[in-house]
């Protein structure tokens, strides 16, 4: 099935949530937003995996969204904001959609139910029910190595018919499944890779972009890879990617987002590399490796 260009595309940043002394660090958050608003990104994901969303209480998530929307409005960069949501009980997730309906967000990134491992029919009904529970667009987050369940393409393509299910953050870790989806998806259904090391190959196989934690660093270089491919400059895109390819493994050498936060702290974008348990700070060895890479590219 041939597709028109998706309305959801480019580089989306799953923004880290900065903390200081156990609390949301609004000063660092605003500094990050000003920085990334000047970069070629196409949208923000808040309170998802990279944003340590499962460690945030309800008031913190609401404040995170409010500050982000306020700062983007203040600087005149109307980036779309999608809120990360997860849960294994459909009714409870639907209640969260209702609770956040008036927040200044444009859509949701919703993870497949974790731990319970529902059937494909259960997944289809789950997301169909959620799409009926909101008037905002939904991106499905398919990441079976975290949730324990893989939303396969037949069910995904059925869900893609719903007007409010507009795409997927694809972390299926199955290249054949990902390629099949880009070939068969309906018009306007976005495929955004969430596998940072495979960003270039995903683009060459038809992905519309990526939701990339690694793009906190060298953001413009990630965008340039996609831009060169869109312009037909495959050799240039490949050359750029070869210069970037070692970055995602470095930033995922230990559990995310600790390595990214260490980099942003060293770069002066956040005032502390603090993460919340069960996440821990990076090891001394990885910190030294990151510090050396920062010095190398300056």
- Model pLDDT for residues 248-282, shown as the tens digit of each residue: 999 999 999 999 999 999 999 999 999 999 999 99
- Beta-bridged to residue 170, according to DSSP, are 142, 193
pLDDT at position 298 is 82
182 annotated as a binding-site residue: no
Return the higher-pLDDT residue of 26 and 297: 26
pTM of the predicted model as reported, rounded to 2 decimal places: 0.96
Domain ranges of the chain: 10-243
pLDDT at 4 over 60: no
270 annotated as a binding-site residue: no
- Model pLDDT for residues 78-134, shown as the tens digit of each residue: 999 999 999 999 999 999 999 999 999 999 999 999 999 999 999 999 999 999 999
Region of residue 205 (phi > 0: left; psi between -120 and 50: alpha; otherwise: beta): alpha
Ordered DSSP codes for 63-97: HHHHHHHHHHHHHT----EEEEE--S-HHHHHHHH
The CA distance from 97 to 129, in Å, is 11
Catalytic residue among 36, 108, 169, 261: 169
CATH number assigned to the domain with residue range 10-243, chosen from the 4 options 1.10.357.10, 3.20.20.70, 2.20.25.10, 3.40.1380.10: 3.20.20.70
The CA distance from 51 to 275, in Å, is 10
pLDDT at 7 over 90: no
Q: Please give the sequence-ordered ranges of beta strands (E in DSSP) within the chain, or none if there are none.
A: 10-14, 19-20, 23-24, 43-46, 81-85, 107-111, 138-142, 165-170, 190-193, 209-211
pLDDT at 5 over 70: no
Q: What share of the chain in percent tops pLDDT 70? A: 98
- Model pLDDT for residues 33-52, shown as the tens digit of each residue: 999 999 999 999 999 999 99
pLDDT at position 2 is 34
pLDDT at position 263 is 98
The CA distance from 81 to 60, in Å, is 16
Whether 169 is a known active-site residue: answer yes
Catalytic residue among 36, 141, 228, 261: 141
């Amino acid at each position: 099935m041939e597709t028109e260009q998706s309305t959801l595309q480019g580089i989306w940043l799953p923004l880290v949530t900065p903390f200081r002394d156990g609390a949301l660090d609004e000063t660092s958050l605003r500094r990050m937003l000003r920085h990334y608003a000047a970069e070629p990104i196409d949208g923000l994901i808040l309170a998802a995996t990279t944003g340590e969303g499962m460690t945030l209480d309800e008031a913190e998530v609401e404040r995170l969204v409010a500050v982000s929307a306020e700062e983007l409005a203040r600087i005149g960069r109307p980036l779309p904001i999608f809120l990360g949501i997860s849960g294994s009980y459909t009714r409870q997730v639907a209640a969260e959609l209702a609770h956040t309906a008036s927040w200044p967000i444009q859509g949701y990134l919703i993870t497949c139910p974790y731990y319970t491992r529902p059937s494909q029919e259960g997944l289809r009904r789950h997301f169909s029910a959620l799409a009926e529970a909101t008037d905002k667009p939904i991106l499905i987050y398919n990441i079976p190595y975290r949730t324990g369940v893989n939303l396969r393409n037949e069910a995904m393509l059925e869900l893609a018919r719903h007007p409010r299910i507009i795409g997927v953050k694809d972390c299926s870790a199955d290249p054949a499944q990902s390629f099949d989806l880009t070939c068969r998806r309906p018009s306007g259904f976005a495929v955004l890779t969430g596998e940072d090391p495979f960003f270039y190959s995903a683009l060459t196989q038809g992905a519309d972009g990526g939701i990339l934690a690694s793009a906190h660093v060298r953001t413009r270089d990630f965008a340039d890879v996609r831009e060169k491919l869109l312009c037909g400059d495959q050799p240039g895109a490949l050359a750029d990617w070869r210069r970037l390819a070692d970055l995602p493994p470095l930033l995922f050498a230990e559990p995310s987002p600790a390595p990214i936060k260490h980099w942003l702290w060293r770069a002066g974008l956040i005032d502390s590399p603090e993460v919340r348990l069960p996440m821990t700070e990076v090891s001394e060895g990885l910190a030294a490796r990151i510090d050396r890479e920062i010095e190398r590219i300056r």
